[in-house]
Amino acid sequence: MKLLTAKDYLFSHIKKLLGPGRIPLSYNLTLNARHGDGVLFDTRYVHNMIMDAGEDEVAKLIGGITANAFAYVAMGTDNTAPADSQTALIAEISTNGGSRAADSSPTSSGNVLTINYLFTITGALAIVEAGLLNESSGGDMLARQIFDVINLTANDTIEIIWEITAGTAR
């Protein structure tokens, strides 16, 4: 009989807890783009993919093991299909008001966590990917999704909202 370390024991139980039919995590992404005058010109609703590195960090958070919360929202310009092994956006934006930013006050209602950030654009951007990460640079990516291009110009805003549901919707 093989003895497990405390860490291995904890992770084996978390894996059972989060396994099929247990506590699924689902993630939905909403993007709202507005012109400088406030007129909404584009809205997207996308169910997105959870990355392997993100799942690993969620397990740590559940177990009380040191990990950073996922509060950083990022946008990018590459529409390569999402894959479990991706750890960052393919072409993250760092200019024209589109740099990664943190929701300083995520909200929770029941089993749904909402992370929201409103970017004010300062120059032309064409975004096709969004990601949810746990650090201001680098870090682990919990979720990534691609979508048809949203073209933004100076003074436009784009609100990116991640809704994370633990279990089934109530």
> pLDDT per residue over 83-128, tens digit each?
888 889 999 999 999 999 999 888 888 888 899 999 999 999 999 9
pLDDT digits (tens, 9 = 90+) for 27-79: 789 999 999 999 999 999 988 777 777 777 777 777 777 777 889 999 999 99
Would residue 128 count as lying in a domain? yes
- Give yes or no for a contact between 100 and 160, defined as CB atoms under 8 angstroms apart: no
Please report, as a single letter, which amino acid is at residue 92: E
Would residue 94 count as lying in a domain? yes
Would residue 11 count as lying in a domain? no
The CA-atom distances, in angstroms, between 55 and each of 1, 42, 45, 51 are: 29, 30, 22, 6
Q: Which of 81, 82, 11, 79 is nearest to 51 (CA)?
A: 82
The CA-atom distances, in angstroms, between 24 and each of 49, 156, 166 are: 13, 36, 6
- Tokens 């291995």 sit on residue: 8
Stated pTM of the model: 0.80
Would residue 17 count as lying in a domain? no
pLDDT digits (tens, 9 = 90+) for 75-84: 999 999 888 8
Domains identified in the chain, total number: 1
pLDDT digits (tens, 9 = 90+) for 130-150: 999 989 999 888 889 999 999
Which domain does 135 fall in, by range?
A: 26-166
Would residue 88 count as lying in a domain? yes
pLDDT at 22 exceeding the cut of 60:
no
Would residue 2 count as lying in a domain? no
User: What pLDDT sits at residue 11?
Assistant: 47
* Interior angle at CA 30, CA 25 and CA 34, nearest 5: 165
User: What pLDDT sits at residue 2?
Assistant: 58
pLDDT at 21 exceeding the cut of 50:
no
Would residue 18 count as lying in a domain? no
pLDDT at 16 exceeding the cut of 70:
no
Would residue 109 count as lying in a domain? yes
